[in-house]
Amino acid sequence: MSITRTPRRIGVLGGTFDPVHIGHLRGAVEVAEALGLDEVRLVPNFRPPHRETPNSSAQDRLAMVRLAARELPLLKVDSRELERDKPSYTLDTLESLREEMEADDQLFLIMGWDAFCGLPSWHRWDELLDHCHILVMQRPDADSEAPEALRDLLAARNVNDPLALAGSSGQIAFVWQAPLGVSATRIRQFLASGRSVRFLVPDAVLAYINAHGLYRASN
């Protein structure tokens, strides 16, 4: 008797997460629920140490993402890019994830509209869709046009209904969601000027930031 396996549906949300905030978390949860994903991997990116601005270490960024994901069963933290001592290309990360998956599993690369518009500057970006589908988190009131370099790709690969994405890779869909006007840049600025970031990050992340004195202007 053969047992039929249901292909897994895995989302990947990469970012510097410096720090992780409610925009990332709501985005991941809303996409996961809308598409019935089995999990979303939060993948903190390696970033070379930067001395001028009060940014945090890879270790702190990872710790905060772990705290944020702890109570959200759909969210998993994947530290593979931090385990190397240099920046990883997303293409390499997708290839390495694929090696751990079955051929018919579906992999969804999740990104905000801003990140999507920057895609043409990514390493071998035209190969990304060989390994995954791309889900773009788009705000309902957005009126931005895709950059010229992406128009042909969108014309060929865009699927109107994200639930209709078929196969293990190769298509692009937009997931519409209410925008949360929060960014890590704004959170760092608030903290550097001594303002509260309560409700912009999970309480456990805020406690970590305070306990480790992160993002203070003197760091």
Q: Which residues bind ligand ATP (CB under 6 A)?
A: 15-18, 23-24, 27, 111-112, 114-115, 137, 180, 182-185
CB of 5 to ligand ATP, least distance (A): 30
CB of 24 to ligand ATP, least distance (A): 5
Closer of 11 and 27 to ligand ATP (Cβ): 27
Burial profile 49-80: b = 16 or more Cβ within 10 angstroms, e = fewer: eeeeebbbebebbbbbbbbbbeeeeebebbeb
- Distance in angstroms (rounded) separating the CA atoms of residues 164 and 161: 5
CB of 160 to ligand ATP, least distance (A): 21
**CA dist 121 → 54, 55, 90 (Å):** 26, 24, 12
Q: Which amino acid is at 69?
A: A
Closer of 176 and 212 to ligand ATP (Cβ): 176
CB of 48 to ligand ATP, least distance (A): 14
The single-letter DSSP state of residue 199 is: T
Closer of 59 and 185 to ligand ATP (Cβ): 185
Closer of 9 and 112 to ligand ATP (Cβ): 112
